[in-house]
Structure 1
Amino acid sequence: MNSLRMHAALAAGLLACGTALAQSANPNYDLGRSGSAWAPGAGAYAGASLGRPSYRLDCAGSCDQPSLSGHVYVGSMFTPNLGAELGLLYLGEAERGGGDTRAEGVNFSLLGRADIGAGFGVFGRVGATWGRTRVDAAPGSGLATGRASGWGPAYGLGVDWAFARNWSAVLDWQRHRFDFAGGEDGWVRATSIGLKYRF
Structure 2
Amino acid sequence: MNIRNYNAKEAIVFRKTKEPFGGLSNMASGYALYINEVIIPSSEHLYQAMRYPTNPEIQFEIINQDNAMKAKMISNKYKAQYSRPDWEKIQIKVMRWVLEIKLAQNWDKFSAILKETQNKSIVEYATDNKIWGAKPINNDELVGVNALGRLLMELREKYISENNRIFCVNPPDVPALLLYNQHIDIICDDMIIDYHNESLLEDSLV
The TM-score by the shorter chain falls in which range? Answer: under 0.3
State the structure with bigger RCO (CA 8 A, min sep 6), 1 or 2. 2
Q: Which TM-score applies when normalising by structure 1? A: 0.26
Q: Which TM-score applies when normalising by structure 2? A: 0.25
Going by fraction, where is helix more abundant, 1 or 2?
2
